[in-house]
């Protein structure tokens, strides 16, 4: 029996002095076999319980104790740079730990890591291939563990013997043709129920058995999905429509609308598995677009009250349906309007009333400020966009009726009789400014703005004609 010393990932020399705080540990002895004149190293350590009946050559492998490791995932299957599977696939994160996370640390040897989700195949690839799993490969794409596959969420032990000289363990996706796939029992499906809407087949592959609508055109089937695969719901936004042009807000596990805050927003990325494949069903959450936006374009904070009334003038009491849309369509919270509302200078509040079409709104308060005049623009006035002018100490009111409309009603506070100029940097354009553009555009289209003055104040300057051009 002969022994050969080998320091992996460090040097091809048989021996060299340690440098600095370097430290090594023996990984094990690996048998070297002579096959047709070439030396082939076993993948697993040699077992000394094996009877020796002929000369055996063993090579020592060492672990560099100061090294830390990361995983590099490749969703495209190749070998020596040549495409193995005709699959086009992507994934949002390809390095683990995430290099964009400042708190992420690389793995120590023998640590446990969690396998990243399966890549997302395009429609044509998914028609023909199944994702079998992730394999540990060398830098050329050759598997380093025969018959071993890792799926999303699996625990994978970090083993330095599989790392390259940079401490990177390469994970490559492996795909199988559906016609001969060993993964067929591992597939699942997701059903997207239009829930009062209908499925629009535009953009779906004709005759597809992967993405298709049912006969009633009210359910979209995402079939033959690999277990634990990620599904990007936003890819199917244009395939689900509502006859009344309601907004597809997101998806729920039940058909009830609830509080109009979905369990999964329309642009969500979700994972599906085959554990409960018969219940992998989501229902569309449709929102009638009824909005009231209050914009404070004045130079000071404004405190006001908001009343919502039924057609007979009584108070509308279903307050659970008042939703404050904070930052974006997908950042919402329920809101209670029983108390006065304060908006800081430059702040905007957008309230959603899914069942509020036809209700009357009233925004009111008392103007207190250091400007001579205070302007309130109201897009919900009976005869168009109405601007009321007030002086300090006067009570202001803006009221109208809520409608189903993508923009909705807008109430705007300002203390100058001009619209704000656009920001010098386009990237700084704010929601208030955008809403002001909408309001100004509506005024120009209407061809007039109605100016209302307080009859008790004779010193207010108003146009000679009630209808004036902007």
pLDDT digits (tens, 9 = 90+) for 210-223: 788 888 888 988 87
Q: Does residue 410 sit in the same domain as residue 322?
A: yes
Q: Does residue 58 sit in the same domain as residue 144?
A: no
- Non-local (6+) Cβ contacts of 181 within 8 A are 129, 130, 132
Domain boundary among 155, 180, 205: 180
Which class for 441: exposed (0-12), middle (13-18), buried (19 or more C-beta within 10 A)? Answer: exposed
pLDDT score, position 390? 93
pLDDT score, position 296? 93
Q: Does residue 90 sit in the same domain as residue 151?
A: yes
Q: Does residue 22 sit in the same domain as residue 74?
A: no
pTM of the model: 0.50
What is the spatial distance between Cα 77 and Cα 82, in angstroms, rounded to a whole number?
A: 9
Domain boundary among 13, 31, 64: 64
Strands (E), 182-322: 187-193, 198-199, 211-213, 219-226, 229-232, 240-241, 247-252, 264-265, 269-272, 281-287, 291-296, 302-309
Given CA atoms 455, 461, 464, 469 in this order, what sign does their dihedral have? negative
Q: Does residue 411 sit in the same domain as residue 435?
A: yes
Q: Does residue 230 sit in the same domain as residue 374?
A: no
Give the count of domains, the chain.
4
Q: Does residue 206 sit in the same domain as residue 314?
A: no
Q: Does residue 140 sit in the same domain as residue 223?
A: no
Q: Which residues of the chain have pLDDT under 50?
A: 3, 5-13, 184-185, 320, 418-449, 452-470
What is the spatial distance between Cα 214 and Cα 117, in angstroms, rounded to a whole number?
A: 29
pLDDT score, position 317? 72
CA distances from 265 to 207, 329, 355 (A): 29, 9, 20
pLDDT score, position 295? 93
For residue range 382-394, what is the model confidence (pLDDT) as tens digits?
767 889 999 999 9
What is the spatial distance between Cα 455 and Cα 435, in angstroms, rounded to a whole number?
A: 30
Q: Does residue 100 sit in the same domain as residue 202?
A: no
Helix H or strand E encompassing 83 = strand 82-83
Q: Does residue 298 sit in the same domain as residue 433?
A: yes
Q: Which domain holds residue 26?
A: 2-64
CA distances from 185 to 34, 40, 178, 273, 379 (A): 41, 36, 11, 12, 58
pLDDT score, position 71? 95
SS3 353: coil
What is the spatial distance between Cα 435 and Cα 175, in angstroms, rounded to a whole number?
A: 49
- Whether the CB-CB separation of 371 and 297 falls below 8 Å is answered with no
Q: Does residue 417 sit in the same domain as residue 334?
A: yes
Q: Does residue 175 sit in the same domain as residue 192?
A: no
Domain boundary among 231, 262, 287: 287
Tell me the HSE value of 23 on the side-chain side, using a 13 A CA sphere. Answer: 4
């Amino acid at each position: 029996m002969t022994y050969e010393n080998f320091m992996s990932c460090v040097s091809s020399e048989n021996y060299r002095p340690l440098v600095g705080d370097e430290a090594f540990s023996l990984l094990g002895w690996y048998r070297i076999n002579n096959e047709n004149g070439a030396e082939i190293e076993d993948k697993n350590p040699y077992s000394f319980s094996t009877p020796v009946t002929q000369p055996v050559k063993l090579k020592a492998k060492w672990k560099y104790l100061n090294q830390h490791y990361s995983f590099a995932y490749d969703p495209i299957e190749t070998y020596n740079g040549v495409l193995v599977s005709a699959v086009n696939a992507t994934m949002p994160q390809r390095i683990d730990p995430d290099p964009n996370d400042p708190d992420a640390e690389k793995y120590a040897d023998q640590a446990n890591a969690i396998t990243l989700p399966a890549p997302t195949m395009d429609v044509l690839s998914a028609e023909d291939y199944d994702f079998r799993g992730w394999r540990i490969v060398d830098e050329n794409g050759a598997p380093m563990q025969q018959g071993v596959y890792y799926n999303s969420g699996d625990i994978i032990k970090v083993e330095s013997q599989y790392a390259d000289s940079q401490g990177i363990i390469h994970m490559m996706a492996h795909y199988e043709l559906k016609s001969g796939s060993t993964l067929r029992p591992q597939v699942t499906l997701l059903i997207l129920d239009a829930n009062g809407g209908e499925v629009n087949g535009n953009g779906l592959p004709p005759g597809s058995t992967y993405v298709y609508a049912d006969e009633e055109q009210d359910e979209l089937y995402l079939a033959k999905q690999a277990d634990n695969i990620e599904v990007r719901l936003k890819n199917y936004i244009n395939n689900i429509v509502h006859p009344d042009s309601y907004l597809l807000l997101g998806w729920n596990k039940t058909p009830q609308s609830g509080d109009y805050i979905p369990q999964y927003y329309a642009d969500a990325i979700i994972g599906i598995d085959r554990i409960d494949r018969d219940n992998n069903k989501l229902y569309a959450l449709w929102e009638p677009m009824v909005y009231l936006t209050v914009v404070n374009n004045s130079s000071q904070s404004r405190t006001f009250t908001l009343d919502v009334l039924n057609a007979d003038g009584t108070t509308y009491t279903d307050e659970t349906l008042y939703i404050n849309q904070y930052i974006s369509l997908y950042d919402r919270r329920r809101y209670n309007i029983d108390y006065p509302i304060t908006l800081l200078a430059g702040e905007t509040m957008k309230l959603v009333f899914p069942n509020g079409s036809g209700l009357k709104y009233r925004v009111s308060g008392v103007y207190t400020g250091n400007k001579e005049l205070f302007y309130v623009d109201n897009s919900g006035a009976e005869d168009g966009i109405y601007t009321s002018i007030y002086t300090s100490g006067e009570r202001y009111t803006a009221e109208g009726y809520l409608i189903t409309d993508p923009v909705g009603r807008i109430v705007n506070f300002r203390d100058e009789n001009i619209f704000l100029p656009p920001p010098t940097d386009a990237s700084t354009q704010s929601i208030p400014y955008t809403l002001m553009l909408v309001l100004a555009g509506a005024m120009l289209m209407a061809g007039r703005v109605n100016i209302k003055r307080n009859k008790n104040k004779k010193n207010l300057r108003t146009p000679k004609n009630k209808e004036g051009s902007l």
